[in-house]
Amino acid sequence: MDDRQFRTAMGKFATGVTVIATDVDGDVHGMTANAFMSVSLDPKLVVISIGEKARILEKIKQSQTFSVNILAADQQELSMIFAGQLKEHREVEFDRLDGKPVLNGAVAQIACEVSTVHVEGDHTLFIGRVTDIHLEDAEPLIFYSGKYRALAEAVTV
Ligand code: FAD
């Protein structure tokens, strides 16, 4: 099994798209991520997985806080901005939820404090204790097989 086959297989798992954001001394940094999962209801915990080369890694270690912003269908451009896929720099405004930077218009804004950290291979897993949530009534952005998609109703049987 080579790296490409592993990536292709993992890309067959359709996901939403999030922007993880953190703040060090008032300087907000965001990164697009789909490695996000709910972990526990009591206490309320989530997990994100950050690659060892990502600049946001050291920033979350420093701030010990982050937000997860589940992007809406009309926020593909934000996903591309925070994945470094657009050439020119774009200014992005952040709102605040429980003091953490969050993106307006996201389907869900989830404010977290780092609970535990696990280094696994070339990624670091941050378990986040959820401190606040804000929801919007909007359709989510979808990512599948390396492409952005929109949600469609399943055919009823
Ligand atoms: P940088 O490369 O420093 O930043 C990324 C981009 O965000 C840059 O263009 C920067 O200018 C911009 N940016 C940052 N902060 C701001 C701000 N405040 N205002 C305006 N622009 C800003 N990687 C993972 O580690 N885990 C994942 O789960 C993951 N999932 C992904 C899912 C998708 C759908 C995609 C497309 C990519 C995913 N990536 C993931 C890859 C990751 O998004 C990129 O490798 C990213 O560029 C690495 O981020 P960085 O912290 O090094 O940030």
pLDDT tens-digit map of 102-145: 999 999 999 999 999 999 999 999 999 999 999 999 999 999 99
pLDDT of residue 5: 96
Distance CA(154)–CA(132), nearest Å, equals: 32
For ligand 1, mutation pick of 82, 87, 93 (most atoms within 8 Å of CB): 82
Amino acid at 61: K
Query: What is the pLDDT, as a whole number, of residue 156?
Result: 86
Is 98 exposed, middle or buried (CB count within 10 Å of its CB: 0-12, 13-18, 19+)? middle
Residue percentage of the chain with pLDDT more than 90: 94
4: left (phi over 0), alpha (psi -120 to 50) or beta: alpha
24 touches ligand 1 (CB under 6 Å): no
State phi, psi for 80 to the nearest 5 degrees.
-70, -35
Single pTM value for the model: 0.96
**Position 157 pLDDT exceeds 90:** no
> Which residue bears the tokens 């789909």?
34
Give dist(CA 78, CA 110) in Å, integer.
17
